[in-house]
């Protein structure tokens, strides 16, 4: 019986203290308004050309895309690279690829708006005498550190076949084994 009476006493005390605790913690005096202070860092800021160099930091990460296209003819092809979905944003670029099939593109200020940090590229190849061929490639960005975005560019290599090579493989009447 004694155990039950102690438990009832504890429950009764807890039932009174919990609802009454907000009443005891309220302060009737209004909080003072925050004062606007001018930062004292103005004297420490560099002036002129040094100021521009000190504040130059990339806002968003950059990506270096290396394209390797196999089977190009002597004329090469034109390549247009633009965002592949709405989750990433960057400025599209159009370049001509020589017959060796190697091209390096650097995309600055890449904005990735998805949680999974995937950036998708829509790569359209235009070769003379062939229909344009669009290939989608994805790249997972490295998570930004607590210091901010990384200074160096993240890079990846994309291997593709030229539209003329693909068209030769898809001829009617040809059996691929």
Domains and CATH numbers, the chain: 62-172 (2.60.40)
pLDDT for 84-94, tens place per residue? 999 899 999 99
User: To which residue do tokens 């003379």 refer?
Assistant: 128
Average pLDDT of 58-77? 85
CB atoms within 10 A of CB 88: 22
Average pLDDT of 18-39? 61
User: What residues have CB less than 8 Å from 62, skipping those under 6 apart?
Assistant: 106, 107, 108, 109, 110, 153, 154
Check pLDDT > 80 for residue 69: yes
pLDDT for 133-175, tens place per residue? 999 999 888 877 666 555 567 888 999 988 776 666 666 666 6
């Amino acid at each position: 019986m004694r155990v039950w009476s102690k438990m009832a006493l504890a429950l009764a005390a807890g039932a009174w203290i919990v609802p009454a605790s907000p009443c005891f913690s309220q302060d009737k005096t209004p909080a003072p308004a925050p004062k606007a202070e001018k930062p004292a860092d103005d004297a420490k800021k560099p002036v002129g050309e040094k100021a521009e160099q000190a504040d130059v930091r990339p806002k968003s990460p950059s990506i270096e895309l290396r394209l390797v296209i196999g089977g190009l003819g002597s004329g090469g092809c034109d390549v247009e690279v633009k965002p592949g979905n709405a989750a990433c944003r960057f400025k599209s670029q159009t370049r001509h690829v020589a017959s060796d099939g190697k091209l390096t593109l650097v995309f600055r200020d890449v904005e990735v708006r998805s949680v999974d940090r995937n950036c998708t590229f829509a790569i359209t190849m235009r070769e003379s005498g062939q229909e344009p061929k669009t290939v989608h490639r994805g790249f997972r960005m490295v998570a930004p550190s607590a210091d901010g975005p990384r200074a160096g560019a993240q890079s990846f290599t994309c291997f593709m076949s030229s539209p003329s090579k693909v068209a030769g493989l898809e001829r009617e009447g040809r059996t691929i084994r």
